[in-house]
Amino acid sequence: MLDALAKKLQIKPESRVLVLDAPDGYTDGLAPLPEGAVLSTTAKGTFDVVHLFVREAKDLAKKAPRALAAVREGGVLWISYPKKSSGVKTDITRDHGWDVVEEAGWGPVSQVSIDDTWSALRWKPEATVTRKAGSKVAPDTRATTTKSSSA
């Protein structure tokens, strides 16, 4: 699954990518990056793609401002959190625990599976988000979710 992860996260050629607080081995799993893409784990400047990992809402409250400040205008922001099925204790779900990001004016637009432990929500400035009535996450045909292998 990791072979398509860079594409799933919308990492394009020449992208500047920031990964914050990732689990061990995650950045290795992004390889090979598209041509000219550069990965950093230090938030200096702005980036085309920012991917933050958090375990709990208190982590998000502490780390989100740094991630939000690092996303260039029109850039892609992903925030990963533990899946309910992962066994990792968390108070964040797809629909709850995102107050600090929402209060900063960002809204969720799509969700992808990173691996068996992590899901990621993609965020955009709220003013640019369109949703179906009653949906917390906006429809987005560019992002894909993990499909079940059973037929």
71-128: per-residue pLDDT in tens?
999 999 999 999 999 999 999 999 999 999 999 999 999 999 999 999 999 999 987 8
Predicted TM-score of the model (pTM): 0.83
CATH fold, domain 2-128, is Rossmann fold (3.40.50)
- Closest alpha carbon to 54 in 64, 46, 44: 64
- The domain spans of the chain are 2-128
Amino acid at 125: P
Residue 69, pLDDT score: 96
pLDDT greater than 90 at residue 150: no
pLDDT greater than 50 at residue 45: yes
C-alpha–C-alpha distance, residues 125 and 28, integer Å: 29
DSSP letter, residue 2: G
**DSSP string for residues in 40-101:** ESS--S-EEEEEEE-SSHHHHHHHHHHHHHHEEEEEEEEEEEE-GGG----S--SSSS-HHH
Residue % of the chain over a pLDDT of 90: 74
